[in-house]
Amino acid sequence: MTALMTTPASTVGAPPSPVGRPGGASWGRKRGRRARGIRGTDRPGAWPYLLILPGFAFYAAFVLLPIFETGRLSFLDWNGLTAPRWSGFDNYRAALSDPGTWRAGLVALAFILFSCVLPVLVALVLAGLIARTKIRGLTFLRFVYFLPYTIALAVVAIAWRWIYATDGTVNLFVKALLGADKAQAYLGSQDLALPALGLVAFWVMFGFVVVMLLSGAQHIPRELYDAARADGAGPVREFFAVTVPGVRQELRVSLVLTFIMALRTFDLPLMTTSGGPGYATTTPSLIMYRDVFLNMQIGRGATVAVLLTVVIGAGVIVINRVFRSKD
């Protein structure tokens, strides 16, 4: 009775102190740390890394490991059958001193023009014209534009090889309009083979870029065009002040993807001209294919692959930095 009367009133009904529980005050601190971790105020621990581990393992096995192995093979002299021999930078010196490598680089630049630069420029103008006006059947137009991109390049190459043949569709129109003596074997000409394939590459990539830019142009508020017209801006000023900034992100993605695809061009020249006539349409990917699978020079082909990867990576970095500086 005496003990009950001497107990302070403020402690009556209060929760028991953690000191009296197993572990004492340390038990209460541990429980508090666990509670804070659950609420996300503490460090997350290893769970996020465990969650991304399967995806990273898949990426490492099928992307990082082949890249590392290609880099290793580029320092070897190996025909795929006998024991490989370490050659250091001999493959790189041979590839960079070979005129065929530089010719293939010029062909790659031509494909960048036809597959990347021209499609983006023409599609950007078209997107600007469509964004300023309301067009019925826009969904159908996008489907028509995008259709060539959905067809396998091997099928596209075979179809255009028939179109460019001496008795193909192009020569039928040429004979009807200009005379029979004007018909040519376009894919067999040193001067016309590369532009002919470039037009095919433009036809394939143009629809993809149009759909990308139109998707961005549709999100530009109409009020911006109305405000530009109220300020007296003409079509050209409106295009550069409203349309181009409005599709900047889509423009960057289009440039990156088309640039990569242009430098990786392989199916189209292989199925139409086999890199000919001569070396007129030989791309770096074709050189890599010939070195590895025809000439059995595994190290030399891996070297071309490494150089091509470096060029692609540098180009992508430049494109992203140019657009980041404008942001």
Q: What is the pLDDT of residues 30-58, one digit of tens each?
A: 455 554 444 444 566 788 888 999 999 99
The list of the chain residues with pLDDT below 70 reads 1-44, 325-327
Rounded-to-integer distance, Cα 280 and Cα 289, Å: 16
Burial class, 16, CB count within 10 angstroms (exposed 0-12 / middle 13-18 / buried 19+):
exposed
In a domain, 246, yes or no: yes
Structural domain contains residue 303: no
**Is the backbone peptide bond immediately before 284 cis, with ω within 30 degrees of 0?**
no
DSSP string, 219-285: TS-HHHHHHHHHTT--HHHHIIIIIHHHTHHHHHHHHHHHHHHHHT--HHHHHHTTT-STTTT--HH
Contacts of 19 (CB under 8 A, 6+ apart): 25
Count of structural domains, the chain: 1
Q: Are 193 and 281 in contact (CB under 8 A)?
A: yes
Q: What pLDDT is stored for residue 326 in this prediction?
A: 63
Backbone angles phi, psi at 178, to 5 degrees: -115, -15
pLDDT at 277: 92
pLDDT tens for each residue of 180-212: 888 888 999 999 999 999 999 999 999 999 999
Helix (H, G, I), strand (E, B) or coil at 123: helix
Q: 89 lies in a domain? A: no
Look at residues 257, 252, 250 and name the one whose alpha carbon lies nearest to residue 214: 250
Does residue 31 fall inside a structural domain? no
Cβ contacts of residue 223 below 8 Å, gap of 6+? none
Residue 125: inside a domain, yes or no?
yes
CA–CA separation, 109 and 281 (whole Å):
11
Cβ atoms of 80 and 297 closer than 8 Å: no
What is the reported pLDDT for 268?
94
The answer as to whether 78 is a domain residue is no
pLDDT at 327: 57
Domain limits for position 104: 99-296
Look at residue 301 in the predicted model and tell me its pLDDT: 95
Inside any domain, residue 24: no
Torsion angle, alpha carbons of 39, 43, 46, 50, to 10: 60
Rounded Cα distance between 202 and 182, Å, is 24
Report the pLDDT value the prediction gives residue 43, as an integer from 0 to 100: 65
CATH of the domain at 173: 1.10.3720.10
- Token pair recorded at residue 113: 């023009």
CA dist., res. 134 & res. 87, Å (int): 63
**Per-state percent for the chain, helix, strand, coil, to nearest 5:** 75, 0, 25
Around Cβ 246, how many Cβ atoms within 10 Å? 22
Q: Tell me what the pLDDT averaged over the chain comes to.
A: 85
* Cβ pair 206, 100 in contact under 8 A: no
Task: Determine the pLDDT at residue 48.
Answer: 86
